[in-house]
């Protein structure tokens, strides 16, 4: 039983995934899906690999999808102990636009699904990652800012909707989510891929990335292209993060000490089912080292890596950032 109650997380901060083609990843997430490249950097644990950050126009928390593109990496398989689906919010009435766009760009997508009263469009990115678009009402005071270079505002992605976790035994993870500030908001029958037949939804109190769905499954998976590396949850301040870390530790899990990731500060741990969770602060943010109007235009090498710029640049494959004509 968890013994401390931290300030609740507002929801998802970012999701980091693994893929196998740097250029294809940039082309799809910028040009096809219309997200902004807000940071072009390197994997801080493997600086000969890119780390791309795609988000809304300002790189707000709750909007950032990031990738480690390991060239020629074999395809993975989603299974138990993984984030099985990552879903984004799009404005009501925009799914027809997205289906037409996917046809035009030869994107693999499925039939629309009704889930908890919302309409969901499932698809795959070129690296094999399962992704979803969910139609929602976007309020006038929504904190996300649409990037409209490739996709019009009335269809643009507006941050995360949810992640779906596949777990052998969902109960311990459900308890952990409750302690993190999520509340169980519903359960419904499902036949969506996993061997479990019930999807349980947990909701945080923030406006973006507020849902985590949990499904039971014994289906085995493997890491590789098209899988999620980790999911990060918002702990806006250092004090919030410290309290959440203590709660996680009280649960019997083993969180790391705080690690400086340059644009936010992070704590990592594996939850009971084996999925890598991160707690991430809101600041300093992506504009701490680049002006807002120039986000993503240059290769940013944080901290000690700047002194190795020439060596690192030689090791990275050449890429071209898609631009509108």
Residue 253 CA to residue 308 CA, distance in Å, equals 36
At 202 the pLDDT is: 98
At 194 the pLDDT is: 56
Domain 12-315 has CATH 3.20.20.70: no
Task: For the beta carbon of residue 51, count every other beta carbon within 10 angstroms.
Answer: 19
Residue 17 CA to residue 68 CA, distance in Å, equals 6
At 314 the pLDDT is: 96
At 101 the pLDDT is: 98
233-279: per-residue pLDDT in tens? 999 999 999 999 999 999 999 999 999 999 999 999 999 999 999 99
1, pLDDT greater than 50: no
3, pLDDT greater than 90: no
Residue 195 binned pLDDT confidence (cut-offs 50, 70, 90): low
At 2 the pLDDT is: 42
Cα 145-147-149 angle, rounded to 5 deg: 160
At 219 the pLDDT is: 87
314-324: per-residue pLDDT in tens? 999 999 999 98
At 196 the pLDDT is: 63
Residue 298 CA to residue 240 CA, distance in Å, equals 32
Q: Where are the alpha helices (DSSP H) in 70-200?
A: 95-104, 170-180
What pTM did the predictor assign? 0.96
Q: Which candidate, 118, 117, 93, 97, places its Cα nearest to that of 109?
A: 97
Poorest-confidence range of 94-98, 116-120, 207-211, 216-220?
216-220
> Mean of the per-residue pLDDT values for the chain?
95
At 4 the pLDDT is: 63
Residue 297 CA to residue 312 CA, distance in Å, equals 17
At 302 the pLDDT is: 87
Residue 278 CA to residue 314 CA, distance in Å, equals 31
% pLDDT > 70, the chain: 97
Chain centroid to CA 250: how far?
A: 26
% pLDDT > 90, the chain: 91
């Amino acid at each position: 039983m968890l013994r401390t109650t931290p300030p609740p997380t507002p929801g998802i901060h970012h999701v980091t995934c693994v893929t196998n083609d740097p250029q294809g990843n940039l082309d799809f997430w910028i040009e096809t899906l219309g997200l902004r490249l807000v940071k072009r950097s390197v994997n801080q644990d493997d600086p000969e690999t890119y780390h791309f950050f795609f988000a809304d126009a300002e790189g707000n928390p709750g909007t950032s999808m990031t990738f480690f593109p390991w060239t020629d990496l074999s395809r993975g398989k989603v299974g138990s102990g993984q984030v099985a689906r990552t879903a984004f919010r799009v404005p009501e009435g925009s799914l027809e636009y997205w289906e037409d766009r996917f046809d035009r760009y030869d994107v693999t997508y499925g039939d629309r699904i009704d889930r908890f009263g919302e309409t969901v469009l499932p698809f795959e990115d070129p690296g094999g990652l399962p992704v979803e678009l969910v139609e929602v009402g976007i309020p006038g005071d929504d904190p996300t800012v649409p990037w409209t270079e490739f996709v019009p505002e009335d269809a643009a992605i507006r941050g995360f909707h949810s992640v779906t976790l596949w777990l052998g035994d969902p109960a311990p993870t459900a308890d952990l989510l409750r302690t993190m500030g999520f509340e169980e908001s519903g359960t419904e029958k499902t036949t969506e891929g996993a061997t479990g037949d019930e999807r349980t939804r947990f909701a945080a109190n923030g406006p973006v990335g507020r849902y985590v769905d949990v499904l039971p499954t014994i289906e085995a998976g493997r890491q590789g292209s098209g899988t999620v590396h980790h999911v990060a949850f918002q702990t806006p301040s250092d004090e919030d993060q410290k309290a959440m870390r203590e709660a996680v530790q009280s649960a019997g899990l083993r969180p790391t000490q705080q690690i400086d990731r340059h644009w936010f500060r992070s704590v990592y741990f594996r939850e009971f089912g084996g999925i890598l969770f991160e707690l991430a602060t809101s600041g300093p943010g992506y504009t701490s080292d680049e002006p807002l109007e120039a986000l993503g235009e240059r290769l940013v090498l944080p901290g000690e890596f700047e002194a190795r710029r020439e060596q690192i640049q030689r090791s990275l494959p050449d890429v071209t950032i898609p631009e509108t004509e």
